[in-house]
Structures are given as structure tokens and as C-alpha cells.
Amino acid sequence: MRILRAAGRTAVPWKNGGGVTREIAVSPAGAPMDDFDWRISLADVRADGPFSAFPDVDRNLTVVEGAGMDLTVGGEYLRVGERCAPHDFPGDVATAGRLLEGPVVNLNVMYRRGRVTALTSVLRGALLLPVPADAAVVVVALDGTTLLGADEPVTLDPYDAAVLDRSPGVLRTDGHAAVVTLRVHP
């Protein structure tokens, strides 16, 4: 298990310069914005505007702070107004966002189409957390406290994350935790 504390993250400009993001994890490690297999980050959205385009990338967006956004994805309307509810959309289609009631923080999962399959789930409570042998699993505490393991649990505070290479056993959260399962295809 690799623990990634929120305090160690640096805000960097979005690809299009319209806001800032804090990278949680990327594969391969150190991959630039235009050549990752998958990338997980937290984005601060403070104004309406276009999303950065990512050719051949699919995205999953989960609002974790704020009232949400209305998105226009390739001319289609998508309301992202419920906290902690993941939404999928293509990253290479023109997308614009309009804030519903002020700034938001979004959990973004981006993954290379055809190379990676990703599933984002948001949990509350407890779960026996499996880690498939052919996948990477990243847990991100969204709010409250998340515990991984039973005997000597690892504590994740809000926005801390863990990259799992095997099952920690039990995941318990008194808030919400995102569990992202990523399978890279040969």
C-alpha cells in the first residue's frame, strides 16, 4: 500500500490554463498530461468555462465540494449536481461547465480509451475491499475519516489517498471514499 497525503500535493494549472488541479496519482509514474495511461486528480473550479481536451481519453467526474455543475458535452446536457455521484463522459469532446452555486472541487479520473478500463465507486460505511490481481485500486477519502485494514488500520483524512497492490481487508469510512479500479489492457 502506498499512502499519498493531500498535504504534499502542489496546485498546477489545467492544460487549458482555466483553473488548477492537484494530481493524486498517475500511471506510468511521472507521465506528462499528454501521455498517461490513467490519472486521478482533484480540480478546483471557480468559474464557468471550457474543459481541457484530452484526445483518446475517457473521464469520470465526481463533485466532492460545492453545489455542482451543468456540463455541455458535445452539445449534450449533463447535470452534475449531486455530491459524490460519479459521471462518465469522453475527454476528447468539446465540454463546457457552468457552476450551479459557486466554486466546486471535482475528483477527476481520466483513462486512455482502449488501453485502460476504469470504474469509480463512492462508498459510505464498510466494505471488504477486493483488489483484483490485474488491476490497480486507488482509494481517495473524500470527507470524514477512512480506515484501511482491521488490526492496525491506516487512516486517510480528507483527500488523502492509497494505491493498493493487495486487499487491505476492510475499508471503513464515516464519510465518503472513492474507490477507483483501473485495468490496463496489453
In DSSP notation, the chain reads -EEE-GGG---EE-TTSSSEEEEEEEESTT--TTS-SEEEEEEEE-S-EEPPP-TTEEEEEEEEESS-EEEEETTEEEEE-STT--EEEETTS-EEEEESSS-EEEEEEEEETTTEEEEEEEEEEEEEE---TT-EEEEEEEES-EEE-SSSPEEE-TT-EEEESS--EEEEEEEEEEEEEEEE--
Pair type for strands 57-65 and 87-90: antiparallel
CB 139 within 8 A of CB 166: no
Q: What is the pLDDT of residue 34?
A: 86
In sequence order, the β-bridge partners of residue 113 are none
**How many degrees, rounded to 5, is the angle at CA 159 between CA 155 and CA 163?**
65
Instruction: For domain 9-112, say whether CATH 2.60.40.650 is its number.
Output: no
d(CA 44, CA 64): 10
Domain with CATH 2.60.120.10 in the chain: 9-112, 116-184
Question: Which residues in the chain come in under a pLDDT of 70?
Answer: none
d(CA 102, CA 13): 20
Q: What is the pLDDT of residue 36?
A: 96
d(CA 52, CA 68): 18
CATH T-level assignment (fold) for domain 116-184 = Jelly Rolls (2.60.120)
Q: What is the pLDDT of residue 6?
A: 97
Q: How many CA atoms lie within 13 A of 111 on its CB side?
A: 19
Q: What is the pLDDT of residue 92?
A: 96
Q: What is the pLDDT of residue 151?
A: 86
